[in-house]
Amino acid sequence: MKVVDLHTHTIFSDGNLTPQEVVKLAKLNGISAISITDHDEIAGISEATKIGKKLGIDIIPGVELSAKRENKSIHLLGYFIDIHNQTLLNFLQEMKQARLVRAEKIILKFKEYNIHITLDDIKEHSGLGGIGRPHIAETLVDKGLVKDFREVFSKYLGDGKPCYVSKSNMPTRSTIELILNTGGIPVLAHPGLLNRDEWIPDFVNEGLLGIETWYPSHSKAQIKKYLKIAEEYKLIPTGGSDSHGTRPGYTQIGDFTVPYKVLERLKESAKSTGIERVPHINYVRDKR
């Protein structure tokens, strides 16, 4: 049976494998198609597409964007986006800069705990993409300032911890409309982690077209629940590993896949709906 993985990350965000390495692993593990869904970044898609053609792996252009509601971070996946869309490129560049500002604020917070790192230290680990919390954690571990990733996030960088700094994200409506306006299909990522099912009807009214039903940390009961929600609101159920390469604590490429029919439904939706464009939206990040 053909299988796919519609949620993967590379060195262009907070994964530690190149797009080429991700595609080669997919081939090695019998995966027919993958989507590169880096955080606020699409630079790895072209490289993945080139190697995918050579190896016979279908590459679905994607991205994972962070939105907000009631000061809670909400992750939205965009599939079949136009990676040459200038509006999207401008927005992603702004988010990359925002990540730098966030990292500088986190550095200052760590100084209060007598833990000293610099932006240059972090950039050695962030590679080609924007800076994320895993890069900061990797820096701390590499310098021997903490024992491991678990300690970093449980004591300092996890949501609500003393060195955590939230990103200045757009509301979900604007983020969904951005994905739609760039030719994509907006999908709610890992709703089990969000744990705000009561918000899903509102997301649907804002233009949401899919929901990530199959996810490594979702229980069988959660999968069943989200399949029912998908049916009720006519959402496309999707799934993926959320692999970050070989980073500890994340599912590896090949360890979690979904049937190819999941991708077929996404493709059918992209063709049949024509994805409504919303040209009037001004995509400006909330700087508060």
Split at pLDDT 50, 70, 90, the class of 71 is: confident
Mean pLDDT of 237-252: 92
Split at pLDDT 50, 70, 90, the class of 284 is: very low
pLDDT of 283 reads 39
Mean pLDDT of 91-103: 91
Where along the chain do the CATH 3.20.20.140 domains lie?
3-82+169-273
pLDDT of 167 reads 78
pLDDT of 124 reads 86
Task: State the residue for tokens 């919390």.
Answer: 133
pLDDT of 288 reads 29
Question: Which residues neighbour 62 within 8 Å (Cβ) at sequence distance 6 or greater?
Answer: 6, 35, 36, 37, 45, 77, 78, 79, 80, 81, 184
Mean pLDDT of 281-287: 39
* 3-state SS class at 51: helix
DSSP 73-97: EEEEEEES--TT-HHHHHHHHHHHH
| Residue 267: φ, ψ to 5° | -65, -40
Split at pLDDT 50, 70, 90, the class of 273 is: low
Split at pLDDT 50, 70, 90, the class of 269 is: confident
pLDDT of 272 reads 65
**pLDDT tens by residue, 25-47:** 999 999 999 999 999 999 999 99
Handedness of CA 98, 65, 26, 48 (dihedral sign): negative
Beta strands 72-79 and 210-214 are unpaired
When mean pLDDT is compared across 38-42, 54-58, 108-112, 147-151, the lowest value belongs to 147-151
pLDDT at 275 over 70: no
pLDDT of 128 reads 74
pLDDT of 4 reads 98
Q: How many helices, marked H, and strands, marked E, lie in the chain?
A: 11, 9
Handedness of CA 4, 7, 11, 12 (dihedral sign): positive
Fold of 93-157: DNA polymerase; domain 1 (1.10.150)
Read off the tokens for 109. Answer: 């917070």
Please check whether residue 192 is in contact with residue 222, taking contact to mean a CB–CB distance below 8 angstroms.
yes
User: Which class would CATH give 3-82+169-273?
Assistant: alpha beta
Mean pLDDT of 44-73: 95
More confident residue, 160 or 272: 160
Question: pTM of this prediction?
Answer: 0.88
Please check whether residue 163 is in contact with residue 263, taking contact to mean a CB–CB distance below 8 angstroms.
no
* 3-state SS class at 130: coil
Handedness of CA 95, 101, 105, 106 (dihedral sign): positive
**pLDDT tens by residue, 133-180:** 889 998 999 999 988 888 999 999 988 899 999 877 899 999 999 999
pLDDT of 286 reads 38
**pLDDT tens by residue, 188-240:** 999 999 999 999 999 999 999 999 999 999 999 999 999 999 999 999 999 99
Split at pLDDT 50, 70, 90, the class of 279 is: very low
Read off the tokens for 6. Answer: 């519609």
